[in-house]
Amino acid sequence: MDKKYQVVWAKVAENDLTNIIKYIVEDSTSNALEILKKIKEKASNLYYSPKRGRVIPELRDFGILQYRELIMPPWRIVYRIAEEKVFVLSILDSRQNIEDILLKRFLNL
C-alpha cells in the first residue's frame, strides 16, 4: 500500500489563498468558491503522491531542490515534503515575478 502523507498549510499559504479569493469574489462569488474548491482539492491530493509536482525551476537554478509545485493556471501551489508531511507554503500568481517572491520568502532576503 502507498505511503500517505499529512498535508499541512502554512499561515503564509492560507493568507495567499484568502487574498486570491477576496480578489476574485469582488467580481464573482460563485467563481471564487469554485477556485477555492479547486485549489484546496489539488493541494489536499498531495497526501498520496507528493512527488508528482515539479521542482521549482526558478529555485533549481540556485541549487534549491527541496521545494516543489503544482500548476493550476494562473496559480502555482508551492510545497515541501518532510518526512510524513507535505507543507503547502505558498499559492502564487504566475503572472507575477515568481523568482523574486520565492527568493524573498524562502531565503528571507
pLDDT digits (tens, 9 = 90+) for 34-69: 999 999 999 999 999 899 999 998 888 888 899 999
Cis peptide before 74 (omega within 30 of 0): yes
How many percent of the chain have pLDDT more than 90? 72
pLDDT at residue number 108: 62
pLDDT-derived band of residue 100, with 50, 70 and 90 as boundaries? confident
Residue 81 lies in a domain: yes
Region 24-34: what's the mean pLDDT?
Answer: 96
Number of domains the chain contains: 1
CATH code of the domain in which 65 resides: 3.30.2310.20
pTM for the whole structure? 0.86
Residue 56 lies in a domain: yes
With CA atoms as reference, report the closest residue to 87 among 100, 68, 102, 104. Answer: 68
Q: 4 with 47: CB under 8 angstroms? A: yes
Q: Could you tell me the residue range of the domain that residue 64 belongs to?
A: 6-107
Residue 1 lies in a domain: no
Residue 53 lies in a domain: yes
